[in-house]
Each structure stands twice: as structure tokens, then as C-alpha cells.
Structure 1
């Protein structure tokens, strides 16, 4: 097993995410809301221990967080925190907007470079402990190009998933090269307004969709149809959904903020429990 790079406070928060992940399963399986005592008992913890761990990760009580994790929360987000991407583009947020309390700059490869399957690229990679469990991060000298999460699918599958995106690239395991960017990505940097560069490797249509995703503020959501409108192709909702699902830089390009117009969560490449946890985590911190 490849050793994971730990970031400040991230080993502890990754463990707390596993606690939250188990709590999500219990909440999903319950026919009615569970009390704090019921959740703690089913997880084999004392009430005090569970409340302390849970609150330290998310910043609020398990009872309140349970409200964010319910399936109806997606509809609440659409009603109260819906982002119109056309407005975001109009005020110049795309490509330079505020994201996770830092400014992200990005560039993309040319269509010809993409068509060559990463040929000629050197991609560095490493495992890191993140707030959402083990994360595999990849990047070129220009910036982060891949980020995946292993809590649901396992580490081998997550790594192979990203490796397969660019079959002709040369891959070099070098987490220390990526560490400064990853510190920024998960909010563990030095507190200064630095940039976490992204390098988007995809087809032109995909990159337009990912650019639109970058316009969605933290704590807000939008819909697949809204993204299609924003990129000037309103009938391409299904193609937009496919491009969202192929986003290689999860969390930083926030595909978890794209929902169905009906209020359904839609899919999520790294597992729906991960998507629900990310949305709830962001909604909590947006209000605090």
C-alpha cells in the first residue's frame, strides 16, 4: 500500500469523515429521524464521544447535520441557494472566481494535445488524507489535473480510474511535488491568498462544462440544464451530465454542486454518499 501524505489536521478529519460516512448509512436506512443516542449506540460510541468527533469535523451537532443529509436537502438547496450561471459569467466569475476561500487559476490543453491521450505529458501523483477520506491527486508542472476519492470505490479502483484518463502520459509518484497545491485545495495552507493552479485535460466541450462548474460558489448549487444554458447549448443536458461525470478534478471543479432540475442528486463518480457529504459540509460552512 502506498503511503499517504498527511496534511495539517487532515489525518484526524479523514477519520472524522469515516464517522460521518457511517452515520450517513444509518440515516439512509432509517425510516424516521434518529436521535443522537440511537446513532451513537449503533456506531458503538458513547454519546459524548460521537458528538465530539462529529461536531469537530462538521462544526455543528449531528442532529442539525442530519437535516442537511436528508434527500430533501437537495430541493432546499435549489430553492434557497440556486446559482444562475449566466449571471456568474456576466460578472466575470468564470475562471477566476472565489473557490473554497482561495483564488483558483486554470488553463487547459489544446484539443490536439488532448486527442493524443496525454502523450508527452509527465503527470505526478500521490495519495493524501483529505477531509473526505483518502484522495489521489495528480498534476503536471502547470497544476492539478486530477483528484479522486477512494472512500467508496477503494484505492486501487480510484487510482486506476485516473490513470486510465491519460493512457499515453508518463506517471511519476511524487506527492511532495503536489503537496503545496493540495494544502491549498483542502484549506490547510498558510492562510495567504495563494493560487492553486488547475490544468484541465479534456475535450473542448468538457472544458466548457468544467469552466461553468467553476462559477458555482461554495454552498450553492445549480442544475444540469442551467449549465447547458450557460454554455450556449440548452438542448445538450444529457451531454452536460456526461461531461460533469467525467470531471477529473473533483472538489476543486465542483461537480458535486450540479443537481437535477427535479431536485434529485443525480449521479456522482466517486459515490453518492460522498456527494451528499460534500454538499452538506459546504452548506454548513456557508451559513457559519
Structure 2
């Protein structure tokens, strides 16, 4: 019993500092933000007026909020779909047992490199790529004779959201490719050898062996990536477009930031934050439900 008490004391001594830091820097601000959503507060004064659900009523009637939500949903659908699809494709190509590339290590490094860069650096880099006068994209299109495809990519409502998709996908592909490579390489080679002897094609091997055996990994990465897209979109939009043109690239987090630090309306900003929290939880539950299936053992 004494040894058990000593062990418990040791475990509490190890975990209490981390729990205290979590409570001070995560839990308390989180709860405080929810409380402030029911107040009117400029963020700098001591005057905090309780307004009940007024901030949420304003949110429901704010057209920019719904434009921002639509943009968030667009990114949450397109970016994960393209990223996961390409990541899985490259992972399969770089781990094929019967035709493994000698340069696979080099390709893994090249694909993973964008993930090392800071999101601000990536945003600035792609802003120069999209620049309407000296950007490399328009220069390339002009040199190839596709002048009709030249656009002010970040300055037109019809192209700005698609322009934001490219850097987000480019940054994330390598990270998830490495995860899928690790999952695929954990599958026993005997399964593929038996399938090959049975005459199964590469596509059938992927559908019947690879995909079922890495499904749980994909399920976790999709949920994780959805939350990442929701959060990281703030950096890309804030640096590359600042929500323009005419709020057409606004997302919920940039609008929240503008209301808090631009308009000094922290109470309304916290209401938007609570709205984002509910959406994030709902998306996580929905994606987890849609991707749930019985695990396959080998």
C-alpha cells in the first residue's frame, strides 16, 4: 500500500505542473471566452455590459458571417479532399514493392520540405507567385500563349478562394504522405505477394489490402486535418488577401480577429468564436461517423 501511495504521489507530482499550465493558459481563456460572448466589451476598458444573447442575434443577421462560413466549408471540403487524395497517391507510388523507385528517399524529402516552412513564409511566397504583374504564374501562362487564363488571382472574387487552396495543399501533402507511407510499410509484404500470385491487379491490391488496413490512420488524419484547415486558413487569408476583395475570401477566424482588434468589439468576436467551436465539434463528429467502419486485422 505504501508503494502504491508513493507511486500515486509521484504520478501526481509529474502531471500537476502540466495540468496547472493547461488550466491557466488553455482552460481558463477558453471558459472566459465563452462567458465574454454574452457581454459587450471593447477589450481595453473595464466596462463590461451583460447583453445576453444579443451578440448571437447579431451574428445570425450578419451577412459577412455567412460568407465566411461558406468559405470555411469550401476549404474544409476541397483542401482535405485534394490533399488526402494526392498524399495517398504519392505514398502508394513510393512504396510499391514490385516497382519501388530508387529515388523514393529524395522524393519524400522534397514533398515534405514545404511542411518545414512557416505558414507566413508560404503565404508570402505564394502571394508573389500570384502577383498580377510580376508573378511567375501569369508570366508562365503568357509565355505559353494562354493569355486568356491570366488573372489577378487574389484580386478577383471568382479566383481568390481557389488561389488559397493551392498553397494549403502544397504545404500539407508531404506531411500526410509520410504518415501514409509509414502505415503502408507496416503492412506485411506477404499479403501483397499472395494477392499477386492470385492474379490481383495493383488497383485491386490497393482496394482490398492497402485501403482497409490503413483506414484507421486515414480516419484520424482526416479529423486532424479538418481542424488544421479551420485554424490555418486564418494565416493564409490574413497574409494573402486580408479577407478581400469585398470580403469574398473572409473566413470566420479572420472576421473574428477583425471584430476584436480592428473594431474593438471583443464580445461579438467571442460569440463568433463560440460559433466556430460548435461548428468544429460538429464537423469532427460528422467526419468520424462517416469514416467509421470495422477495423481490419492481419
TM-score by length of 1: 0.27
Structure number with the higher strand fraction is: 1
Structure number with the higher helix fraction is: 2
Structure number with greater CO (CA < 8 Å, separation at least 6) is 2
TM-score by length of 2: 0.26
Q: Which has the larger radius of gyration?
A: 2
